[in-house]
């Protein structure tokens, strides 16, 4: 699977002209900076990129990368390396709800491929696309690290686990109609407790 378009630097015409942390984020950034030794302040690059991304509707413009490179006094390419390496950073605009479907082996065995193609059909977009109303964008990612609850979908900051086609349908419907949705397992299991087996029923 090749790079999704969210990993490509956005066209110049949609790049904002400027970027700077707002007041709250600046305070937050300085607080994060304090955690790391003074001569290794570039270690704080990942949380800072997250702050910048959250401030800019879920994606990192060029100016934000340059801003963070100035902020940490490291070359711009070092920031770009990190931003392009990790799948949680986007370099071009995403939808209001950015859906990331895990397709690594455990999720795949539990049916993530069907969920992905269902999402594509339901939202009428392809992987790497953003819907016309800018509400949804879809991307396919490597292991999200919650295999025990496979298959998983990450929407913005939260995980939705133990999905099947029905629960995915319901999930997307609820999001688009702005209803409250349950974070975590969608099959009613608590955390990653053992699934109810036939042995449990007998008992």
CA distances from 64 to 49, 54, 70, 90, 178 (A): 8, 11, 10, 12, 30
> CB of 46: closest distance to other proteins in angstroms?
14
Rounded CA separation 77/79 (Å): 5
Q: Is 2 one of the binding residues for other proteins (CB under 8 A)?
A: yes
Q: Is 57 one of the binding residues for other proteins (CB under 8 A)?
A: no
* Pairing mode of beta strands 153-155, 158-161: antiparallel
- The region of 72-80, 111-119, 160-168, 182-190 touching other proteins under the rule CB under 8 A is 72-80
Q: Is 70 one of the binding residues for other proteins (CB under 8 A)?
A: no
Select the residue interacting with other proteins from 39, 177, 197, 198 (CB under 8 A). 39
Rounded CA separation 126/154 (Å): 17
Q: Is 76 one of the binding residues for other proteins (CB under 8 A)?
A: yes
Which residues 6+ apart lie within 8 Å of 136 measured at CB?
A: 95, 96, 97, 98, 99, 123, 125, 130, 172, 176
**Pick 24 or 70: Cβ nearer other proteins:** 70
Binding mask 78-97 for other proteins (x = CB under 8 A): x-xx--xx------------
CA distances from 147 to 98, 108, 167 (A): 20, 10, 18
> CB of 140: closest distance to other proteins in angstroms?
13
- Applying the rule CB under 8 A, the residues between 126 and 185 that interact with other proteins are none
| Nearest C-alpha neighbor of 133 from the set 120, 123, 147, 144 | 123
> CB of 160: closest distance to other proteins in angstroms?
25
Residues near other proteins (CB under 8 A) = 2-3, 7, 9, 39, 62, 75-78, 80-81, 84-85
């Amino acid at each position: 699977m090749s790079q999704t378009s969210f990993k490509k630097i956005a066209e110049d015409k949609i790049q904002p002209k400027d970027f700077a942390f707002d007041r709250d984020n600046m305070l937050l950034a300085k607080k994060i900076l304090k955690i790391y030794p003074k001569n290794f302040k570039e270690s704080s690059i990942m949380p800072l990129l997250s702050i910048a991304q959250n401030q800019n509707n879920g994606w990192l413009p060029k100016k934000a990368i340059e801003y963070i490179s100035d902020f940490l006094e490291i070359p711009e390419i070092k920031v770009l390396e990190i931003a392009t390496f990790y799948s949680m950073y986007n370099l071009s605009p995403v939808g209001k709800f950015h859906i990331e479907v895990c397709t690594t082996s455990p999720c795949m065995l539990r049916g993530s491929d069907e969920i992905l193609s269902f999402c594509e059909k339901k939202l009428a977009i392809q992987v790497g696309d953003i819907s016309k109303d800018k509400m949804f964008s879809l991307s396919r990612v490597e292991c999200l690290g919650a295999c025990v609850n496979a298959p998983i979908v990450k929407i913005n900051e939260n995980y939705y686990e133990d999905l099947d086609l029905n629960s995915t349908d319901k999930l997307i419907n609820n999001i688009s109609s702005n209803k409250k949705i349950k974070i975590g397992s969608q099959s009613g299991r608590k955390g990653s407790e053992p699934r109810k087996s036939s042995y449990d029923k007998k008992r």
